[in-house]
Amino acid sequence: MKVLVAMSGGVDSSVAAAELIDQGHEVVGVTMRLWGGESDTGCCSVSDVDDARRVAQQLGIDHLVFNFSDDFNEHVVAPYVQAHVDGITPNPCIECNRHLKFDRLSERARDLGFDAVATGHHAQVSRGDDGVYRLTRGHDQLKDQSYVVYMLDQTELAFTMFPVGHMTKAQVRDRAVALGLRTATKPDSQDVCFISRTGGRETFLGNRIEFRKAAVVTSDGVAAGAVEALELVTIGQRRGLGLPGGGPKQFVVDVDTPNARVVIGNEDQLLRDGLAVNNVMWANVSPVVGQKVLVQSSAHGAAVAATVEHVSDAVAADGVGSQRIGGANLVLRFDVAQRRIAPGQSIVCYDVTNSFVLGGGIAEAINPTKN
């Protein structure tokens, strides 16, 4: 097969390319130039592009650079900024996967006659006897990245390869050392690539939007403090709220953007017994109402048990169809109440064995309240 490998300049994508070469594939590396602004973190710095190019030279494969900066700004950076204005907590790395790696890059790969694209994600794609593709967790449970690629449908799963998904991180590094790759000991990227360490999120957003002051109030409406930038506040936050020291712990339980208010409460007031999700995509078919699933709401968070209470166009166990409820495509009811998930965060549903991805979407502002 002719495979285009997305090489970010990290060890995982470097070894992914090496694995494909060993398997006898015709491999070409590509680095996407996404962010043209200041960058000292993530996978968009000049040094990362150079690392990818040099690894490709070490492996003896061609290396391409695609400039997708306009797409990146349109689909990742601009929505990231607007989300903060709207009181939403975005996940830009997932949106980069959705719009760039597994949309724009796949489209370009097909146009150039490639049979597949590959990345260094710790996830796996399998195909059952029924011909259905499944996105399964990576072998290394601590490094599993199936959560961040949940948006892949049957078409994309058939076109995508994850060559290091069956390996542990230690095995990946050992393989890179054995090959003498310059990325063998390079630290993993942990940050949003367009947010610099020196300026941070506050500087990045402050250069693009005007921050609004907001009152901090209790759930009963009693004034408790103030914040200088409503746009920097998120659900579950404890610090930076202008609260006096001492007393019980207080958390942000709601961000009231229209009224410029931050509502605080104790930990119990953060709990919700359900969750509404929109923009849902399924790997194959949607679950049915009443079906048990496991739900993950962060890249490395634990999956918790829930029941599908509503899903658009789904059929319940009794055969009765379901309609759209409150603007949400999916409503989940947790077995045990969970901390409220910030609107804008990705919600991924796994099967009850916690092995493969069913699908996922984006947390809505509507959060069913704990009974």
Spell out the domain ranges in the chain.
2-179, 210-265, 270-363
Answer yes or no: are the C-beta atoms of 181 and 14 closer than 8 Å: yes
Predicted model pTM: 0.91
Residue type (1 letter), 250:
Q
Q: Which fold has domain 210-265?
A: SH3 type barrels. (2.30.30)
Q: What is the pLDDT of residue 45?
A: 65
Residues (pLDDT < 50) of the chain are 314-327, 371
CA distance 235 to 270: 9
Tell me the per-residue pLDDT of 229-261, one tens digit each, with 9 for 90 and over. 999 999 999 988 888 777 788 999 999 999 999
Residue type (1 letter), 71:
D
Q: What is the pLDDT of residue 94?
A: 95
The CATH class of 2-179 is: alpha beta
CATH code for residues 270-363? 2.40.30.10
Backbone angles phi, psi at 105, to 5 degrees: -65, -45
Tell me the per-residue pLDDT of 147-171, one tens digit each, with 9 for 90 and over. 999 999 999 999 999 999 999 999 9
Q: Active-site residue numbers?
A: 96, 193
Answer yes or no: are the C-beta atoms of 308 and 282 closer than 8 Å: no
